[in-house]
Structure 1
């Protein structure tokens, strides 16, 4: 027996005054309503209704049970409405994880606009450059830059492609020379991003599509692109970094591109979130906003 269904049937019978009216309201037959009430009485071991051929009346036990079950059904209906209302409008806390450089430099361009569009949301942004466990650490969505993603039960929504560049300061190049080909990087101080799959291997592609993988060395490695940018500005060496991290420095001339005739494999920006049959409105709102933001934008 479905006790919840039987409780709803009992309530309809009592409040509408007849089995027939209750059956019509529930869209089932008179006999099904009668059977549900009998099964409920059998489970409780108590008679809830005194029946005659024409009418019925609640017993003392039935009156007590009806009032208690009515309160339970009202509370359940209120909970249903609250959840459905929340599902209809993005609200509540939205926990976002993002890389340090992306959070500091790129999210600042569009997160305020997103927050203004959804004032019912409370945003909790945590920036770090490691792959977090979204479920274990309680994040709703993560924004990740990667050349590829490991197998996972997470949903990965592609947002954009980020160009990679090798950069150095003019002072460093004046002191140590300008490399003309990728193999010449072996004679330079290179600044390594420790969280890359192979931080000491940089793969370049020339104009003809030929690739060259170069093993690089350096006296500094760091787990954030911001630190590598700072080191490059301090004339410490050549950094391989996402173009958006050094966009302003390239424009001002504080840093210059090294090996401009070659390209590095780009990274892809993904939105990652747990798989669910019913994606929450707050996660959907963020992902859809980011997709629209990067759709026609050359963010590098």
Structure 2
């Protein structure tokens, strides 16, 4: 069985491309790091790194072994963290990205409650309707609406059966009438949402096996989901919003759900992570917390 130190030397060397840099990061001498790497290769009977006086690179065997080693070290770290948390509670940093409307008006308050339950957690919240790049930006996890398009990400379902809902204020409906079928939406002023430079001009509805696509128009367009909701509350037109965004407005009567016999576009709500090894205990606890809160919000 390889020692943890030998495995850490291998991973750090692969990451930095330098045995000396790996040694410094682990507080070892270059000679001790070299011995650890040789000890690991001898036990495996394989060369993991091709070394010369000027460069170092992974061999084919090293590339195949690296992912397994990363997973093993991550599992050990998570186990140690879980043991510490039993006596000290959750610790560490949660870097979370969330959609602007839902993040500002719902998640922000929920995170206050989460922090009371786990006071040793540090929070970093980024609100943006553009999908955060989890591989480049300073966020570890992101709340997202819609079917995940990036298969390299891990999706933890929060509300898997979530949908969009057409809605308007009572004042707008009193002035312009209530549409009874999806096609009647084309006769109304719609409040459209723009994402990545493209306006959502096509709204989808399903009734049993029947799928209808409606081309909508309007004189209000924004790339911020909260702005679209505010326009709807102000009576400017009909919005096509995520159910979670408007659940409280529907309950309070500030907005009215339209076309209740039709299902809106599926927009599953997920907590996204860049890799399953980053699904730490604190991420799992946050995931369960969000599941409970979202279901309670939708069932109010």
TM-score (norm 2): 0.64
Give the deviation of 1:198 after TM superposition: 6.7
In 1, Cα distance between equivalents of 2:242 and 2:252: 17
**Structure 1 equivalent of residue 244 of structure 2:** 244
Change (3 A) 1:154 1:127: same
Give the deviation of 1:178 after TM superposition: 2.3
Change (3 A) 1:151 1:174: same
Change (3 A) 1:299 1:100: farther
**Structure 2 equivalent of residue 20 of structure 1:** none
In 2, Cα distance between equivalents of 1:97 and 1:111: 12
Report the structure number with the largest CA radius of gyration.
Answer: 1
Q: SS state of the match for residue 265, structure 2?
A: strand
Change (3 A) 1:168 1:277: closer
| Contact 1:154 1:275 (C-alpha < 8 Å) held by counterparts | yes
In 2, Cα distance between equivalents of 1:179 and 1:154: 39
Q: SS state of the match for residue 194, structure 1?
A: strand
Give the deviation of 1:200 after TM superposition: 0.6
Q: How many residues align?
A: 223
| Contact 1:244 1:299 (C-alpha < 8 Å) held by counterparts | no
Counterpart check, 1:149 vs 2:175: no
In 1, Cα distance between equivalents of 2:221 and 2:118: 39
Q: SS state of the match for residue 129, structure 1?
A: coil
Q: SS state of the match for residue 178, structure 1?
A: coil
| Contact 1:168 1:256 (C-alpha < 8 Å) held by counterparts | yes
Deviation digits for residues 64-121 of structure 1 (CA, Å, limit 9, x no counterpart): xxxxxxxxxxxxxxxxx99985564332221111111221233245322321222211
Change (3 A) 1:299 1:268: farther
**Structure 2 equivalent of residue 203 of structure 1:** 204
**Structure 1 equivalent of residue 254 of structure 2:** 254
Give the deviation of 1:225 after TM superposition: 2.5
Give the deviation of 1:191 after TM superposition: 0.7
In 2, Cα distance between equivalents of 1:252 and 1:295: 17
In 1, Cα distance between equivalents of 2:209 and 2:110: 35
In 1, Cα distance between equivalents of 2:257 and 2:286: 33
Change (3 A) 1:113 1:219: same
**Structure 2 equivalent of residue 36 of structure 1:** none
**Structure 2 equivalent of residue 219 of structure 1:** 219
Change (3 A) 1:218 1:296: closer
Counterpart check, 1:111 vs 2:127: no
**Structure 1 equivalent of residue 167 of structure 2:** 167
**Structure 1 equivalent of residue 26 of structure 2:** none
In 2, Cα distance between equivalents of 1:266 and 1:299: 18
- CA-based RMSD of the aligned residues comes to 3.1
Give the deviation of 1:124 after TM superposition: 0.8
In 2, Cα distance between equivalents of 1:132 and 1:283: 17
Matches within 5 A, 1:35-46: none
Q: SS state of the match for residue 289, structure 2?
A: helix
Give the deviation of 1:215 after TM superposition: 0.4
| Contact 1:115 1:121 (C-alpha < 8 Å) held by counterparts | yes
Give the deviation of 1:237 after TM superposition: 0.9
Matches within 5 A, 1:8-47: none
Counterpart check, 1:99 vs 2:96: no
In 2, Cα distance between equivalents of 1:184 and 1:83: 54
**Structure 2 equivalent of residue 280 of structure 1:** 280
Give the deviation of 1:182 after TM superposition: 1.2
